[in-house]
Amino acid sequence: MTSIEIDPSRLSLVREESTYLALRTTQGGRTVYTTRVPLGDLSVILPLPDPAKPDPDNRKVDPVHAKGFGQYLADKPDWVAPTLLARDTGGCRFEPVSADGTVGYLTVPWALGGIARLITIDGQHRILGVHLEKKRITDEIARIDRDLLRTSNGTKKAKLEDERNLLLARMDRLKTEYVGLDIYVEMDGIRGQQMFVDVADNAKGISSAVRARFDTYRIANRTLGDVVEHPLLRGKVDIENDRMTARNRNLMGAKHVADLTRAVIAGPGGRISKKAEATLTDSEVIEQTKDFLNIISMAFTGLAAVTEEDIESYDPKLSEKPKNEVPVPPTKAMELRESSLLGSVGMLRVLAGVFKSLREDGVEDGDITEFFKRLDRHMAAPVADNSIWSTTNAKDDFELNASAPIMRTQNIVHLTGVITDWYRKPPAAI
């Protein structure tokens, strides 16, 4: 019998760990390993979150939010994401290679490799999102492969091949693009749970106002800097806060400006579609929004007063004075919120929707201005039981003594339709 030589080095054994280049430092008395891992490795070395079975050391994961991150990766080649945080319960091994012992090889156990696995502190939605995106790509490739076997049409085959190559490129990105991972060595489970609480407590959530200023993917946000230069808004927009409290001296927040822009472009309850985002130019959106602001500034006396007011009176530092100090004179915007429906961003969104609808019907801007002027005397707040908002088909969109319409989307959309119809068939009071 002929002898057979076997090379053991050619055989792959069962592997339950991965090795990365890492930096070893200290934080809060704990050893911390800092490394970067391929996106595709996340669900291998970190537990895959199950929305139906929350991790006792973490919060329940939202599958919709997780799927959204996967879609974000697919849609945005220039994606960005913060470092994930995990806890090492004793399974990691670090082999230093630098003289000072800070740089070395970090061997990390796989999530299914035993009890000494990593535990996620922050990043569950990113882990699940990448996993769902990998599964989506794999399923799509399998579907295309089946379709390729079934078709003999050359044109269709070429199209399917193009789709397949695009999906393979997306899968390759998950293997070749990296995200940061900080691993804290902490054996104590109680202290580990406290780490999660500390991270959550110390993270300052991003307000919608701040998001509106910096999220340049959406045209309503991207055009914000130009829109707020309109005289009605200049110096009177809160760039940090979403809520207009009684002491807030501004007319509205940055988020509300973006909401008005969306209402002008897509209606008060709508979103600007991806197709519209791709076809609209920034200048078109800015021009249309400023046209609306011009009209309401001329038509409504309360907004005209805000437009004409000295910007210096809106100094935000005045709002920070303690309540026991001598109160500073209120701004016109503060007075508007006290006495007029126009101090409500909801009402302004409705008017933006009316503006959009009438323009689409071919109504000239001058006629829209005159129509709004006829509504001006009906803008007093709170809403009285004998007002047009209580005695017409708008009554379902207001509560008695309210200073704003009901903010549910269906009410905002309904009220927009009601007021738009009034242009052609006004109630007797107008």
| Same domain as 330, residue 367 | yes
DSSP 187: -
First-residue to last-residue Cα distance in the chain:
107
Decide if 256 is inside a domain.
yes
Under-50 pLDDT residues of the chain: none
186 and 247 part of one domain: no
Q: Say whether pTM exceeds 0.95.
A: no
Chain-centroid distance, C-alpha 58: 22
Beta-carbon contacts of 124 under 8 Å, excluding residues fewer than 6 positions away, are 49, 55, 58, 59, 61, 66
Examine the domain organization and report whether 222 and 317 are in the same domain: yes
Both 244 and 357 in one domain: the answer is yes
Residue 403 belongs to a domain:
yes
In a domain, 6, yes or no: no
The predicted pLDDT at position 214 comes to 66
Q: Whole-angstrom Cα distance, residue 102 to residue 31?
A: 11
Q: Are 425 and 360 in contact (CB under 8 A)?
A: no
Report the candidate in 41, 63, 45 with the shortest Cα–Cα distance to residue 125.
Answer: 63
Dihedral sign for Cα 39, 42, 48, 51, please: negative
- Segments forming the whole domain that contains residue 230: 208-424
In angstroms, the CA 368 to CA 65 distance is 41
- The answer to whether residue 2 sits within a structural domain is no
Together in a domain, 68 and 169 = yes
Residue 4 belongs to a domain = no
pLDDT of residue 251: 94
State how far the Cα of 336 lies from the Cα of 396, in Å rounded to an integer. Answer: 24
Radius of gyration in angstroms for the set of CA atoms belonging to the chain, rounded to a whole number: 29
For residue 24, the model assigns a pLDDT of: 97
- Decide if 37 is inside a domain: yes
Residue 304 lies in a domain: yes
- What local confidence, expressed as pLDDT, does residue 165 receive? 96
Residue 5, in any domain of the structure: no
Q: What percent of the chain has pLDDT over 90?
A: 69
Residue 269 sits in the same domain as residue 414 = yes
Rounded to whole angstroms, the Cα distance separating 368 from 404 reads 22
Alpha helices in 151-249 (DSSP H): 154-176, 189-202, 208-214, 219-222, 224-227
Same-domain check for residues 192 and 216: no
Same domain, 349 and 319: yes
Tell me, what's the pLDDT at 213? 66
- 197 and 337 housed in the same domain: no
Do 25 and 170 belong to one domain?
Answer: yes
Instruction: Give the domain-ending residue among 202, 233, 267.
Output: 202
Question: Are 335 and 360 found together in one domain?
Answer: yes
pLDDT number for residue 387: 94
Query: Do 239 and 353 share a domain, yes or no?
Result: yes
Q: How many domains does the chain have?
A: 2
The domain boundary, picked from 202, 218, 253, lies at 202
User: Where among 158, 181, 202 does a domain terminate?
Assistant: 202
Packing angle of the helix pair 301-308, 332-339 (nearest 10 deg): 160
Q: How many CA atoms lie within 13 A of 79 on its CB side?
A: 21
Instruction: Identify the DSSP state of 364.
Output: -
